[in-house]
Structure 1
């Protein structure tokens, strides 16, 4: 029998993968399981490939048995001490516009964080706790108990601001890949190592309660909008089990981090909330995203690597390398797995496998433009279901972002000189993908004449059905692109190797016979 694999493990929680042929986010059928520990035996039922366990005993051996799977044993790390946040004078259930209570709770929570011993746990118990931004430290666990809601206030009077750079010149605050002051995230950490944020509780960014969503591209009071959860320069971080919702802008933003595991989260925002991307790893290495459900107002996962400045500034750039996305459910959103458009530091070795994308406009999307520079390589999509997508796969090197996005130098199809601002896309593998309800095109690949999109390999892609209500629309955000409806794979300045030549014609898709 197949043995489950351990994805994430903390003192009190674990995430296990129950590998099942053909299964993506959900198992084909729910299975019963038994968890045995020194504290006793627990039985339950799971319908998820990635199953989250809580209530584990710190520093103890556990045995997990599920129907149809071999048993797996694991030992949780020890906990050096449990600190209850309620013991620091928190004000419960205050109104979101009660800024005095929010400040008092922020102060109380900061004291609680300071009191947590190295290797210990700070637990926030059930209740609604409104607080101004909280900074976490390394070598601790922040546990959101089931029924706990850590909520940002609706007002920002006195809200702390994260500067663009620290005293050493390292980027802290950012906006669209450039150093910029931004309001601190409701929950954030800078330079933390060995941090875990976990639990069955909820982080609520109150994006719709204040005015955050009314000024998505502006600066107010000298700062850009905050993220929901912002991790800057952190190492060995685990995010496990909790729900995060209604962020003021990007929901989870790991920036310059390494060895990050994200498992079993629920990431949600209204479909019309601006720029509420689900998870945006930027200039990060070794990131695992498993069993996460996304339903947001922008891209579900957007992988980034900073943006070259208008005068070529690049001292803040660093590559993103090694991102694995597995068994996730992406609902709505502009894209399922997106790379760019801030990719000047380079994005390499990204795989999205065994996932389901429902109504995400696009499935796999790469976007860049002249002036960005950087390289994208080693991108893979395997065993993915795309349901209700407009364009399944796209790579666009004429993306009309920024104020000059429609200028001739960005949109021209004439060859330009190759320089530091020339972006390169080389290496995309797409295999075993089913497309249902296709709207615009199965694929659209638009490269630069001086830097074509190279080494695109497409195998076993099946278009199962078309959206009968689709309206012909350009499949990528670039000028001089014709509207498309129910088309195959269209390419300009791109090298495509496809095992189904009929898909490459750019003609309307013919469905397979039943």
Structure 2
């Protein structure tokens, strides 16, 4: 081989190595060594941590059979002591990590490796029972108490749950069976619940088979939820995707959800309990959401909305084979309000309804609700919507003597299915306007040309939160 050929070969190898190095440096995750510990992680978070540890440091075993509840609890308890010194992150390495419920701490990151699966235990003794939410007065499945969520936290500041698209498997079939057979004395656990907290991030994870709701931030603020894939059988009961509940300043984006219930359900408490607690959900952004939910809504507002819902901004929404695009659910006894709702850029395929509102969603926690607590529904805006294969464009049912007002629909093109409903627009006790909507809306939404329904031009504070580039390198505590 001549010198030129050797030089050329060496140069090619150098280029190949350079590209390999660049690929490794730019990847979100470097693979694990033989010991199973993660060597290097690169990810984005609201805050980075000074210290890092791996679950196996605390006796964790990823064999899918050994309970890791004590390992998680011990790890988080010890790492919580590092909060004043730059915080800590716990890495869940490749493996199947069976566990019951565990509580998070402040200034903390839970990182789930792309080849890691957290498996929810089906041993009820590993799920403590806690009091019902004060804004609900009872459990959602049964009166009284509820099982704590798999991943839980309360009164936290600066907590991150993220990963390289690692998986949390709720193994919900056990709970679905008990629910369907009416064998529950306490309400089913959620997959992730964060209460009374601030600066929360939940991102880049796959959540499957939740016992009931998947992600439930409640009584919290300054929340970023992004890059979640949430999957459950379409006949699984109440497996809502993301339920912001009495929360403020929330950003939900780039999520893909297949659900047995609403993909996103915005809530704020139930009847007299929610009215008394009085904490609304407000300043919520939802963008780049894709949803499949044959029996429920892409986005639902309510029905538990007794603390109020205000300033919801949804854009670039895709719904496929779902019951409705956006559904407002309320009832006499709920009180409070749903107002200042803005939706634009919605694409829907194979839907029962595009628009659905009801003031007759009559479930109540008990008989103590106030029959004079009438909800106020106003300033509801939809624009720039295309829909294919739709059975009925709209079912809009307000409350007699308490109509839903300020409804605006503009630039909406709805193509009907082969066998649509005879009545395309069912409207009662509502008031509003429409513009460039096909098929032609009901008389309670008269045409007003030219017009575009509102969408706020300002930026919410949560949109100004920029994630930082963080890393982890095994154990350095």
Matched, 1:458 2:409: yes
Q: Does 1:205 align with 2:170?
A: yes
Aligned to 1:301: 264
Which one scores higher on RCO, CA 8 angstroms, separation ≥ 6?
Answer: 2
Residue 427 of structure 1, aligned match among 379, 382, 406: 379
* 2:300 aligned with 1:338: yes
In the TM superposition, what are the counterparts of 1:57-206 in structure 2 within 5 Å? 57=42, 77-95=47-65, 101-102=66-67, 105-116=68-79, 117-118=82-83, 119-164=87-132, 175-176=139-140, 180-199=144-163, 200-206=165-171
Write the distance in 1 (CA, Å) between the matches of 2:291 and 2:122. 28
2:348 to 386, 401, 410: 386
- Which protein is richer in helix relative to its size? 2
| RMSD between aligned residues | 3.2
Deviations 1:191-210 (A, max 9, x none): 111000000211111101x2
Gap change, CA 1:93 and 1:381, over 3 Å in 2: same
**Deviation, structure 1 residue 43:** 10
Deviations 1:352-411 (A, max 9, x none): 101111111100000111111111101111011011110001111112334999xxxx9x
**CA displacement, residues 266-289 of structure 1 (integer Å, 9 cap, x when unaligned):** 011110000111111110101110
- Any conservation in 2 of the 1:490–1:504 contact (CA below 8 Å)? no
**3-state SS of the aligned residue for 1:436?**
strand
Aligned to 1:157, the other structure's residue is in SS state helix
Q: Deviations over 1:94-140 (max 9, x none)?
A: 34xxxxx32xx111111111232322210000100101111111111
Q: In 1, Cα distance between the equivalents of 2:410 and 2:260? A: 31
Structure 1 pair 76–204 and aligned structure 2 pair: CA distance change class (3 A): closer
Q: How far did 1:306 drift?
A: 0.1
TM-score scaled by structure 1? 0.73
Paired residue secondary structure (2:440): helix
Q: Determine helix, strand or coil for the equivalent of 1:322.
A: strand
Offset at 1:488? 3.6
TM-score (normalised: structure 2) = 0.78
Pairing 1:323–2:284 present: yes
CA distance in 2, matches of 1:81, 1:403: 45
Question: How big is the shift at 1:469?
Answer: 5.2
Shift of 1:342: 0.4
What is the aligned partner in structure 1 of residue 441 from structure 2?
504
Distance 1:148 1:35, change over 3 A: same
Distance in 1 (CA, whole Å) between partners of 2:218 and 2:331 is 22
Question: Residues 307 and 35 of structure 1: is their aligned pair in 2 closer, same or farther, counting only changes over 3 Å?
Answer: farther
CA contact (8 A) 1:218 1:224 kept: no
Q: Aligned equivalents of 1:436 and 1:324: distance in 2?
A: 25
**Deviations 1:180-227, CA, capped at 9 Å, x for gaps:** 42101111111111000000211111101x244431595734x21111
Paired with 2:181 and 2:218, the residues of 1 have a C-alpha distance of: 20
Does structure 2 retain, via aligned residues, the 8 Å contact 1:331–1:359? yes
**1:138 partner SS:** coil
Alignment of 1:354-373 (within 5 A): 354-373=316-335
Change (3 A) 1:36 1:375: farther
Q: Once the two structures are superposed, what CA deviation does each residue of 1:156-181 show, in whole Å capped at 9, x if it has no partner?
A: 1352112236xxxx669963499942
**How far apart, CA to CA, are the structure 1 residues paired with 2:180 and 2:202?**
26
Aligned length: 407
The 1:171/1:93 distance shift into structure 2, 3 A limit, reads farther
**Partner residue of 1:475?**
none
Q: 1:83 to 1:249 in 2, by over 3 A?
A: same
Residue pair 2:135, 2:269 contacting (<8 A) in 1 also: no
SS of 2:276's partner is coil
The farther-off stretch of 185-194 and 494-503 is 494-503
* Maintained 8 Å contact 1:194/1:236: yes
Equivalent position of 1:510 in the other structure = none
Give the superposition deviation at 1:154: 2.1
Q: Does 1:351 align with 2:313?
A: yes
**Structure 2, gaps ≥5 residues long:** 1-18, 30-39, 444-477
Q: What does residue 32 of structure 2 align with? A: none
Aligned 8 A contact 2:381 2:409 in 1 = yes
1:459 counterpart SS class: strand
- Would the alpha carbon gap of residues 205 and 418 (structure 1) be closer, same or farther in structure 2, given more than 3 Å must change? closer
Equivalent residue number for residue 217 of structure 2: 254
Q: Distance in 1 between matches of 2:384 and 2:406?
A: 18
Q: How far apart in 1 are the matches of 2:425 and 2:142?
A: 34
2:253 pairs, out of 290, 293, 307, with 290
Partner Cα separation in structure 2 for residue 234 and residue 252 of structure 1:
14
Alpha-carbon offset, residue 42 of structure 1: 5.1
Residue number among 186, 192, 205 corresponding to 1:242 in the alignment: 205
Q: Residues of 1 paired with 2:282 and 2:212: CA distance?
A: 24
Contact 1:392 1:438 in 2 (8 A): yes
